A and B are shown apart, each in its own frame.
Chain A
């Protein structure tokens, strides 16, 4: 018998991250640095929102949760479990790309781990998104490598973006206050601590090839809080904007 409360908590934090990150990335659609990249980045924003939708559907269909639209568009801020990394405004393209790199590699190792999950909907979903995530990481790695090797200004920007995002990204792996052990024991997933180490192993070789300096990870303090409803000041306005039309009449069909 699965622990439904634990599963629900895990699904919400994964889905909220995907939704908010996808929403942020979609702000670049039509405004990217070059048309070809605009198109690629927009596709990946759509993929993320699509992953969020799929996860909310699992909640709705399998765990008695609300309808995905209602759940995503009408929930109060304090019930969101997104990490601070994804809530941050887009900044310039260096920040957005570095966040994309750190987030998508984290997403990739998380879904990889779900291929062996005891929870069937996770196994099915991880299989479905595998190809998409392969493209996302290919795209992210290519950009990080190229821009870090393309002259001083570009290198400095990427290093600075890494410095700005690394503690926030480590915050993705904030362990659940109540459910971590249950999820690991039930073999739903390997737990945040384990994913964090796998993630470091995954980003490190890329950063080395790009000659970027990964800060001493034992010295940085991961930015936690999002998983239990403590958010940056950026989330509330984002949610208000996202649900502006939906809120005109939450009962209506749009």
Chain B
């Protein structure tokens, strides 16, 4: 059975007729899991992408080769995308004033100034 391809692998397949209608069903590529990659011990797990998988076990199996076949990696997490809770993008303004709240920041406290002032007053 030859398909007359230059690829011997393809010549071994029984290809369908040209113009054959092939459709995949919605959901056939399974659910989506987000993947988090830990580069070295002590480092945070960082989001690196996602995999399609039928369950967490295979998601982890797939994530290992898709996201850790080259670069350094010591561990991976997977979590179903549907289980991630995030703020709406419109809520970005909630974070807007963070930088102004200097009482949360070391630079907001001028200790040396006070010490110097005290020393000068002596």
> Does B associate with A?
yes
The stretch of B38-46, B62-70, B84-92, B101-109 in contact with A is: B62-70
Q: Which residue of B lies closest to A44 (CB)?
A: B65
Contacts of A241 in B (CB 8 A): 8
Q: Is the CB of A36 within 8 A of B51?
A: yes
Q: Is the CB of A34 within 8 A of B29?
A: yes
What's the interface size class on B, roughly?
10 to 19
Q: Which residue of B lies closest to A35 (CB)?
A: B52
Interface presence of A5 (CB below 8 A): no
What's the interface size class on A, roughly?
10 to 19
Contact partner, B58, options A43, A89, A135, A142, Cβ 8 Å: A142
Q: Is the CB of B66 within 8 A of A142?
A: no
In chain A between 24 and 51, which residues have their CB closer than 8 angstroms to a CB of chain B?
Answer: 27, 31, 34-37, 39-40, 43
* Most chain B CB inside 10 Å of its own CB: which residue of A27, A35, A36, A89: A36
* Most chain B CB inside 10 Å of its own CB: which residue of A34, A35, A138, A146: A34
Cα(A113)–Cα(B122), bound, Å: 81
Q: Is the CB of B53 within 8 A of A36?
A: yes
Cα(A27)–Cα(B52), bound, Å: 23
Cα(A3)–Cα(B35), bound, Å: 50
Contacts of A228 in B (CB 8 A): none
Cα(A27)–Cα(B57), bound, Å: 26
Contact partner, A39, options B12, B53, B54, B65, Cβ 8 Å: B65
Interface presence of A202 (CB below 8 A): no
Do A36 and B66 form a contact, CB below 8 Å, given A138-B61, A142-B58? yes
Cα(A31)–Cα(B64), bound, Å: 20
Q: Which residue of B lies closest to A143 (CB)?
A: B58
Interface presence of A139 (CB below 8 A): yes
Cα(A205)–Cα(B58), bound, Å: 20
Instruction: For the A-B complex with A27-B12, A37-B62, A146-B55 known, give 9 more contacts whose Cβ atoms are closer than 8 Å.
Output: A35-B52, A39-B62, A39-B65, A39-B69, A40-B62, A142-B57, A146-B54, A146-B58, A241-B8
* 6 closest A-B pairs by CB: A36-B62, A40-B65, A43-B65, A39-B65, A27-B9, A36-B51
Q: Which residues of A contact B (CB under 8 A)?
A: 27, 31, 34-37, 39-40, 43, 89, 135, 138-139, 142-143, 146, 241
